[in-house]
Amino acid sequence: MDPQLEAFLRQVLVGLSIGCYLALIALGYTMVYGIVELINFAHGDLFTFGFFISLTIWGLFDVPTPLEGAWILALPAIAIVVILLSGGLNVVIERVAYRPLRGASKLAPLITAVGMSFMLEAIFAYIWGANQINYPRFIPTTNFLNDFSRIIRFTPRDILLFGVTIPAMIGLTLFIDRTRLGKAMRAAAQDREAAAMMGINVNRIIAITFFIGGGLAGVAGMVYGLYTGSGRFIMGFEFGLFAFTAAVLGGIGNIRGAVLGAFIIGMVQAMSDLYIGGEWSRVIIFSLLILMLVFRPSGILGSTTSVEKV
């Protein structure tokens, strides 16, 4: 095969995989913004939390590497524990740092969110160390496409990544579109006061939103660990910002938009790594964020938070 085409196809797969975990983070970002209009700056750190806490849970058992036999069942079990813990942490964060400021300016909870993010990162570094941390290689990396190409890789890890993230995205969309609770969330996003008057317990809805968002980010962190095999306490900052860019790109508050935006950002990163140089990727994605916010703040698909409050 033409080596240039081969490299391009490889980066397409890389872009899709980056898009997958960015989408899980972006979903939480966009849901929270949809309801409370808060840029939850600490959201990316729940991704890091999911990475570290799953590492600690694995460490409690004597797990064979790579996973074999019944141990494969530990994967969903631990994922559920990680979702509960990181979702719970996000609920606590909301209760402590954001809810008391709900009546105040939009900037006040944004400032506490920045404080929360830095605090969490420092605590992660204190507990788990400030260096790059290796994640055990539980999933093998045998390339299914070996006969076809050695550059383009599709491994059991990719199956895990797509197998977790795509059902999660579909499930969340269905949950919001079809269930009673999802309807209540949409109502609260549209008009919090009116929803409260219709008998919706808005505080409960907000807590549930933070729980789901945190859980998705946490499981994304775990999948990221299994996929890439290493991570660092600070990574949530960059992933969080990239995911936020994705959410803005798709139209903040818009669930499908967040997924679309995440895959676009994933592709932009993969392609700029290949054609422009990895050292420029950050510059390009953040420039994209600025341009979107300045020229089309409602995103590609438009925002569901329709009322632009000054």
Partner 1 sequence: MSALISRWRSIPRWAQLVILAAVVIFVPPVINIVERQTGFGLLTQVNRALIYVSLALGLNIVVGFAGLLDLGYAAFFAIGAYTFGILTWPSLRLDFSFFIAIWVCVLVAALFGMLIGAPTLRLRGDYLAIVTLAFGEIIPPLVRNLDNITIRIGDLVLVESFNLTNGPLGMKPLGRPNFGIVESIAGLSPGQLDPGVNPTFWYFIIVILVLVVLSASRRFEDSRIGRAWRAIREDETAARFMGVNTVRVKLLAFAFGASFSGLAGAVFASMLGAIFPELFRFQVSVFLLIIVILSGAGSVWGVLIGGLLISTFDGVLLAQIMPSIFPNSDVQSLRWVFFGIGLIAVMLFRPQGLFGHLGQRQRASQPVKEAAHGDAA
Q: Which residues bind partner 1 (CB under 8 A)?
A: 37-39, 96-97, 100-101, 103-112, 114-123, 125-126, 130, 237, 241, 244, 248, 279-280, 282-283, 286-287, 289-290, 293-294, 297, 308-310
Q: Per-residue DSSP letters for 5-20?
A: HHHHHHHHHHHHHHHH
Smallest separation (angstroms) from partner 1 to the CB of 119: 3
Exposure b/e, 199-235, CB count within 10 A at least 16 = b: ebebeebbbbbbbbbbbbbbbbbbbbbbbeeebbbeb
d(CA 96, CA 174): 30
The DSSP bridge partners found for residue 230 are: 134
- Which residue do the tokens 């700056």 mark? 41
CB of 115 to partner 1, least distance (A): 3
Q: Which is nearer to partner 1, 106 or 204 (CB)?
A: 106
Q: Considering beta carbons, is residue 33 or 227 the nearer one to partner 1?
A: 33
Q: How far is the CB of 244 from partner 1 (least distance, A)?
A: 7
User: Smallest distance from the beta carbon of 106 to partner 1, in angstroms?
Assistant: 5
Question: Which residue's CB is nearer to partner 1, number 17 or number 117?
Answer: 117
- Indicate the residue among 165 and 269 with the shorter CB distance to partner 1: 269
Do 240 and 290 meet the contact criterion of CB atoms below 8 Å apart? Answer: no
CB atoms within 10 A of CB 110: 15
Q: In the complex with partner 1, which residue's Cβ is closer, 114 or 174?
A: 114
Q: How far apart are CA 106 and CA 54, in angstroms?
A: 33
Rounded CA gap, 164 and 279, in Å? 30
Q: How far is the CB of 35 from partner 1 (least distance, A)?
A: 14
| Least distance to partner 1, CB of residue 110, Å | 5
* Contact predicate 261/247, CB 8 Å: yes
DSSP 185-245: HHHHHH-HHHHHHTT--HHHHHHHHHHHHHHHHHHHHHHHHHHHSEE-TTHHHHHHHHHHH
Q: Among residues 104 and 166, whose Cβ is nearest to partner 1?
A: 104
Q: Which is nearer to partner 1, 198 or 290 (CB)?
A: 290
Shortest Cβ distance from residue 121 to partner 1 (Å)?
A: 7
